[in-house]
């Protein structure tokens, strides 16, 4: 854990900003930041094959009268199946969750709400197993169970900010980042809830606000991109062994392999250069 394996240099088809390891050999790459809507109204998401180094367009989202589209927080919820947040800025700004499988060319909407509602998602996690509870992290930094309507708040006090929910592979623990509201950087901790949202504990202290949080396939490591003890990077923590490893020395998008517990991939950008994947 923490050793760089291979680097993959990507053709500059688009400025990538998010990555999801989709199958054993393929990763999905989502555009960085906001994409202005063209009259034709589609925005491409790409596939990269780790064996052949080949890039292909996977699918293109529909315009839906969006002036600006932004892709956020791709998550692999099953082998070859991804969910992601799509922000649509138009006459009725909204943020929606979409689910798509490898051989589909259009995602199906799972959940959406207007940005003004307070329930607009910027992150999410789908519980594995039959229960399949959908927890969303909202634009105002609260956590809600969105499985039923209206969404139910699952944690947090009035002066707290909560974000980056992540169900463990067993579905028995919901990890998230929590801290006090106020100026940045916010000192906080990674915390864990049980499936009933009644018992909460602190897993790891001294964690600054994080941009992503994800369990390894076996659930023994929890990786996050953010600050730990005021040092930025991509980190992985094993609670049983009380061991923390710095995977990368800068905050970067990352994704675990869905089939190999010891491998993750980090998406980084060289200054004035192409995008590179570091495994």
d(CA 120, CA 97): 10
pTM over 0.85: yes
Higher-confidence position of 41 and 239: 239
Q: Give yes or no for residue 11 having a pLDDT over 70.
A: no
Q: Give yes or no for residue 135 having a pLDDT over 60.
A: yes
The reported pLDDT for the residue numbered 37 is: 47
Higher-confidence position of 75 and 59: 75
* 59-81 average pLDDT score: 77
Residues 6+ apart with CB under 8 A from 246: 2, 228, 231, 233, 234, 235
pLDDT digits (tens, 9 = 90+) for 101-133: 887 777 788 888 777 777 788 899 999 987 889
Mean pLDDT for the chain overall: 83
pLDDT digits (tens, 9 = 90+) for 249-261: 889 999 999 998 8
Tokens of 210: 């994080």
Q: Give yes or no for residue 217 having a pLDDT over 70.
A: yes
The reported pLDDT for the residue numbered 276 is: 63
Instruction: Using pLDDT thresholds of 50, 70 and 90, give the confidence band for residue 221.
Output: very high
The reported pLDDT for the residue numbered 41 is: 44
pLDDT digits (tens, 9 = 90+) for 12-64: 556 678 899 999 999 998 876 555 544 444 557 888 898 888 888 887 665 55
> CA 209 → CA 108, 126, 194, 274, 279, distances in Å?
31, 22, 22, 27, 24
Tokens of 19: 């990555």
Burial class (CB in 10 A: 0-12, 13-18, 19+), 150: exposed
Higher-confidence position of 203 and 272: 203
d(CA 113, CA 58): 26
Q: Give yes or no for residue 93 having a pLDDT over 80.
A: no
Q: With contact defined as beta carbons under 8 Å apart, do 275 and 267 qualify?
A: yes
pLDDT digits (tens, 9 = 90+) for 260-271: 888 999 987 665
The reported pLDDT for the residue numbered 101 is: 85
Sign of CA dihedral 182, 183, 189, 193: positive
The reported pLDDT for the residue numbered 144 is: 94
* 159-174 average pLDDT score: 93
Higher-confidence position of 169 and 8: 169
Q: Give yes or no for residue 170 having a pLDDT over 50.
A: yes
Instruction: Using pLDDT thresholds of 50, 70 and 90, give the confidence band for residue 202.
Output: very high
């Amino acid at each position: 854990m923490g050793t760089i394996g291979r680097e993959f240099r990507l053709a500059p088809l688009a400025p990538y900003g998010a990555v999801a390891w989709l199958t054993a050999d393929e990763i999905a790459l989502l555009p960085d930041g906001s994409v202005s809507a063209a009259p034709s109204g589609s925005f491409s998401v790409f596939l990269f094959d780790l064996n052949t180094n080949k890039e292909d367009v996977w699918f293109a989202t529909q315009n839906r009268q969006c002036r600006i589209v932004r892709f956020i927080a791709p998550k692999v919820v099953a082998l070859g199946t991804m969910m992601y947040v799509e922000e649509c800025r138009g006459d009725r700004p909204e943020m929606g969750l979409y689910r798509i499988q490898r051989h589909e060319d259009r995602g199906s909407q799972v959940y959406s709400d207007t940005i003004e509602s307070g329930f607009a998602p910027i992150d999410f996690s789908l519980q594995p197993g039959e229960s399949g509870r959908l927890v969303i992290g909202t634009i105002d930094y609260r956590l809600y169970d969105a499985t039923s309507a209206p969404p139910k708040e699952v944690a947090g006090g009035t002066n707290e900010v909560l974000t980056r929910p992540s169900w463990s592979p067993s579905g028995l623990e919901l990890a998230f980042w929590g801290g006090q509201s106020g100026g940045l950087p916010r000192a906080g901790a990674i915390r864990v809830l049980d499936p009933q949202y009644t018992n909460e504990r602190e897993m790891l202290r001294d964690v600054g606000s994080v941009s992503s949080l994800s369990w390894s396939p076996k659930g023994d490591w929890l990786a996050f991109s953010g600050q730990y003890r005021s040092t930025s990077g991509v980190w992985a923590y094993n609670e049983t062994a009380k061991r923390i490893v710095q995977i990368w020395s800068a905050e970067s998008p990352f994704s675990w392999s869905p089939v190999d517990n010891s491998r993750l991939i980090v998406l980084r950008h060289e200054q004035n250069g192409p995008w590179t994947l570091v495994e």
